[in-house]
Structure 1
């Protein structure tokens, strides 16, 4: 799944003034959307492991890649500079 976060996204207002960076929680939201787009909605998901490696700036293109099947997926978020984040999502219940 490819995405970019627009400059006027509400999450950027305070993160950080003068040099906005896309918060990690927004990247994780895109990861969950990508998994659910392929595997359907999940009732309870958790992220037992995630590492943020590089920042994503507003308007920069990124994409989510993942592997696995319910109840466990490994993911990476890629940007122009390489891997931005990687981790694991687990479905509970």
Structure 2
């Protein structure tokens, strides 16, 4: 899934003044959207047992989410062209395995 966070996104003015970076939580929100699109629905509560941020994403830069696996566990990568920005793992929380 391709995405870009626009330079007028409300999270950017405080993160960081003069040199805005897309907050990690906003990038992870895109990963969750990619999982929901793949599943055809929201998947419920998730855990993130592993997440590593390798490089920042700047406003208006194009990035993509790549998923591997299927419910209840996915590995993910977020890339800008060929540069790895974020990698990690998502797992359905216990009790949501049938979501």
Alignment of 1:43-82 (within 5 A): 43-80=44-81, 82=83
1:4-47 deviation per Cα after TM superposition (whole angstroms, max 9, x unaligned): 00000011010000000000000100000000111121121111
Structure with the greater alpha carbon radius of gyration: 2
Matching residue of 2:19: 19
- List gaps (5 residues or longer) in structure 2: none
TM superposition outliers: structure 1 runs of 4+ over 3 Å: none
Measured in 1, the distance between the counterparts of 2:5 and 2:55 equals 15
- RMSD in angstroms over aligned alpha carbons? 0.9
- List gaps (5 residues or longer) in structure 1: none
1:33-90 deviation per Cα after TM superposition (whole angstroms, max 9, x unaligned): 0001111211211111100000000000000001101000000000136000000000
- Greater per-residue helix proportion: 1
Measured in 1, the distance between the counterparts of 2:44 and 2:63 equals 26
Tell me the secondary structure at the aligned position of residue 31 of structure 1.
helix
Matching residue of 2:85: 84
